[in-house]
Amino acid sequence: MESTLFSLVNDHTVEHHAVGAIGYRHSGGGFHGSLLHDFELLVLIICDNRDLSLQIEHCVKGNLQYQVLYVSQEDMIQWTLSGEHREIMHCFMKGEIIWETQGRVVDLRSQIMELEQTLKEQSLFREFSRFLRRYLEAKRYSEDRYFMDAYHSVLEALHHYARLELLEQGIQPGGCVWEQISHRGSVVFKLYEEITESSETLEQRIQLVLLACEFSVMSKMAHCCKFLLNILSSRHEPWSIQELCMHPDLVPVREELPMLLRKLVYRSLVRETSLGHQGGGSTSRHIRYWAN
Q: pLDDT per residue over 148-188, tens digit each?
A: 999 999 999 999 999 999 999 888 887 889 999 988 878 89
> Is position 86 within any domain?
yes
> So what's the pLDDT on residue 3?
45
> Is position 212 within any domain?
yes
Instruction: Please provide the DSSP assignment of 73-93 as one string.
Output: HHHHHHHHHHT--HHHHHHHH
Taking 50 as the pLDDT cut, the residues of the chain under it are: 1-3, 29-31
**Residue type for position 216:** S
**Through-space distance between the first and last CA atoms of the chain, rounded to whole angstroms:** 47
> So what's the pLDDT on residue 81?
81
> So what's the pLDDT on residue 2?
46
> So what's the pLDDT on residue 30?
45
> So what's the pLDDT on residue 278?
52
CATH of residue 121's domain is 1.20.120.330
The residue among 267, 266, 265 whose CA lies nearest residue 238 is 265
> So what's the pLDDT on residue 209?
96
239/249 same-domain check: yes
218/229 same-domain check: no
Final residue before a domain boundary, out of 102, 137, 167: 102
207/121 same-domain check: yes
Final residue before a domain boundary, out of 172, 199, 223: 223
Domains: count for the chain: 3
How many angstroms separate the CA atoms of 281 and 288, rounded?
22
> Is position 107 within any domain?
no
> So what's the pLDDT on residue 163?
94
The residue among 186, 286, 289 whose CA lies nearest residue 237 is 289
Q: 104-143 and 202-224 helices cross at what angle (nearest 10)?
A: 140
Give the domain range for residue 249.
Answer: 225-292
CATH of residue 7's domain is 3.30.460.10
